[in-house]
Amino acid sequence: MVSGEVPEEPVVSKNSGLLFEKRLIERHILDYGKCPVTGEPLTMDDIVPIKTGKIVKPRPLTAASIPGMLGMFQNEWDGLMLSNFALEQQLHTARQELSHALYQHDAACRVIARLKKERDEARSLLAQSERQIMPAESTAVTSNAALSNGKRGSFSCAVLAPEDEDLGPAGKKLHTGITPAIIAELTDCNAALSQQRKKRQVPPALAPIDALERYTQLASHPLHKTSKPGIVSLDIHYSKDVIATGGVDTNAVLFDRPSGQIVTTLSGHSKKVTSVKFVTEGDLFLTGSADKTVRVWQGSEDGNYDCKHTLKDHTAEVQAVTVHATNKYFVTASLDNTWCFYDLSSGICLTQVSDAGTDGRPEGYTSAAFHPDGLILGTGTSEALVKIWDVKSQANVAKFDGHVGAVTAISFSENGYYLATAAHDGVKLWDLRKLKNFRSFESSDSETPTNSVDFDHSGSYLAVASADIRVYQVASVKADWNCIKTFPDLSGTGKATCVKFGPDAKYIAVGSMDRNLRVFGLPGNDAPSES
């Protein structure tokens, strides 16, 4: 035998009668083509396999006795212990490296947050300084003109105001009004959108009812300060999937939902941010605040936003901001009982509309929203009234009553037929074709007002935020609007303040009186993990 061992698969040569291991003789024949013993030519056809019983290999000498076996076991145990010791050392080293990396990451995050805060504060101070310097320069130029040729001239208070803020009788600002050109632009937009709406169908990517029934909380993100918790306003940029929140802490936060990261924090208001609104074109963003001002923010390529305009036409809290479908104009509503129509690019107030309340009492506006076609504006008042306005003439064309408490939110359905309004007593649905209320949803808790109501972009679902969050299926005037899902308020405050559907109703964003933004959706979708 070639190997000197008992063959496992024995074969015999027909020529020489010698016994070989099959795998060894096959390899030798392939390499040399002759018998390894006799040197005669040999092929595989000359090899004949032999049938044998199973061969039991003899034990090694070390396993033939108890002391030898104990020695083998001892060697195996020593090797195992050495391997285990090496693994424990590697684990200890990995833990130390991980702890150090986590500490460095936490420290870096704190430094970045502090630097962002200092940057935002510096930008805010710079913007305020620029606004203070501009009027001062204007005043100096006017004074020099009045004192020219050695004669002291007289000038009125009007020259001390900016050019676009001429003052009329009683010190009130004069506004140019909505020009015929703008009215024509609004009318053309209305016609185009109305025509598109007739051909519009429910998008195939819209989340179905059975999916909404299985929605659960996917993430909770602490976006605002713990010292002044509370998210009071919310909006979503659908194409970018960025969520904006306005907080009691005077900041507005832009949050990228897919990555779970804060894009930027906008500081500048001195009181809570009551309304936030994206402009879908031009990378502009609007904030309204209880400090009586509205700010227009301009985004840049690096993701930062700078304050482009600070608007101070209101004399009381600004409660709502809504953008026209042209993305060129917007309206603000305030507790001073006026709403203002602005040109977005210049920040100029074209008209400021006031309306005497019931029995001559002033009724501050607490909510506002444009109709999808853009020629109708809906406003809610602190006196439980809903007012419908013709934007072209700024005339109040309809009033809806029946609510209890201030009208906190307004939402038009995408088909333009329905209006949903929220107040302390719950939600009311109005048929705009017949100007009447056809259905009401009472609040689940009589002590908690309904703070937010929102139709999804397709007009298929309606979300209501109060002591809990409820989602209804939109139906016709006569059919039932079924509640298909109820989410509890997980904030612990017992008060959900704002709710908004994501693109194609794939998720629902909810703000409450804690500092967390909560996202509800279908588990398994591309949602970031909980922060």
For the cut 50, the answer to whether the pLDDT of residue 329 exceeds it is yes
What local confidence, expressed as pLDDT, does residue 153 receive? 37
What local confidence, expressed as pLDDT, does residue 367 receive? 94
Using the 8-state DSSP alphabet, how is residue 443 labeled? -
Give the residue-averaged pLDDT of 260-271: 91
- pLDDT for 78-116, tens place per residue? 999 999 999 999 999 999 999 999 999 999 999 999 999
**Confidence grade of residue 236 (pLDDT, cut at 50, 70, 90):** very high
For the cut 50, the answer to whether the pLDDT of residue 165 exceeds it is no
What local confidence, expressed as pLDDT, does residue 173 receive? 65
What local confidence, expressed as pLDDT, does residue 58 receive? 65
Phi, psi of 73 (to 5 degrees): -65, -40
What local confidence, expressed as pLDDT, does residue 147 receive? 36
Is the torsion defined by CA of 452, 201, 213, 223 positive or negative? negative
Higher-pLDDT residue of 149 and 245 is: 245
Lowest mean pLDDT among 184-193, 224-233, 486-495: 486-495
For the cut 90, the answer to whether the pLDDT of residue 253 exceeds it is yes
Lowest mean pLDDT among 13-17, 274-278, 383-387, 446-450: 446-450
Q: Please tell me the distance from the alpha carbon of residue 93 to that of residue 220, in angstroms, as a whole number.
A: 34
- β-bridge partners, 396: 389
What local confidence, expressed as pLDDT, does residue 141 receive? 44
Residue type, 190: N
- pLDDT for 124-164, tens place per residue? 888 888 777 765 555 554 444 433 333 333 333 333 334 44
What local confidence, expressed as pLDDT, does residue 391 receive? 92
What local confidence, expressed as pLDDT, does residue 448 receive? 81
Q: Please tell me the distance from the alpha carbon of residue 503 to that of residue 461, in angstroms, as a whole number.
A: 12
What are 304's two structure tokens? 């930062």
Number of Cβ atoms within 10 Å of the Cβ of 117? 13
Cβ-contact 100, 92 below 8 angstroms: no
Q: Please tell me the distance from the alpha carbon of residue 371 to that of residue 136, in angstroms, as a whole number.
A: 41
Cβ-contact 513, 497 below 8 angstroms: yes
Q: Please tell me the distance from the alpha carbon of residue 30 to that of residue 32, in angstroms, as a whole number.
A: 6
For the cut 90, the answer to whether the pLDDT of residue 457 exceeds it is no
What local confidence, expressed as pLDDT, does residue 5 receive? 67
For the cut 90, the answer to whether the pLDDT of residue 269 exceeds it is yes
What local confidence, expressed as pLDDT, does residue 4 receive? 59
Number of Cβ atoms within 10 Å of the Cβ of 272? 20
% of the chain residues with pLDDT over 90: 47
* SS3 letters across 240-251: CCEEEEEECCCC
**Confidence grade of residue 464 (pLDDT, cut at 50, 70, 90):** very high
What local confidence, expressed as pLDDT, does residue 527 receive? 47
Higher-pLDDT residue of 136 and 384 is: 384
Higher-pLDDT residue of 1 and 345 is: 345
- pLDDT for 24-42, tens place per residue? 999 999 998 899 888 899 9
The DSSP line for 134-197 is HHHHHHHHHHHHHTGGG-PPP--GGGGS-TT--B-GGGPBP-----HHHHHHHHHHHHHHHHHH
Q: Please tell me the distance from the alpha carbon of residue 54 to that of residue 401, in angstroms, as a whole number.
A: 99
CA-to-CA dists, residue 117 to 113, 194, 264, 265, 391, angstroms: 6, 45, 10, 8, 40
Q: Based on the number of CB atoms within 10 Å of its own CB, is 417 exposed (0-12), middle (13-18) or buried (19 or more)?
A: middle
Give the residue-averaged pLDDT of 418-436: 91
Nearest to 355 by CA among 367, 347, 364, 346: 364
Count CA atoms within 13 Å of residue 208 on its CB side.
Answer: 3
Q: Please tell me the distance from the alpha carbon of residue 367 to that of residue 355, in angstroms, as a whole number.
A: 15
Using the 8-state DSSP alphabet, how is residue 208 labeled? P
What local confidence, expressed as pLDDT, does residue 361 receive? 63
**Strand extents, DSSP E, 225-375:** 231-237, 242-247, 252-256, 261-266, 273-279, 284-289, 294-299, 305-311, 318-323, 329-334, 338-343, 349-354, 365-370
Mean pLDDT of the chain: 84
What local confidence, expressed as pLDDT, does residue 51 receive? 84
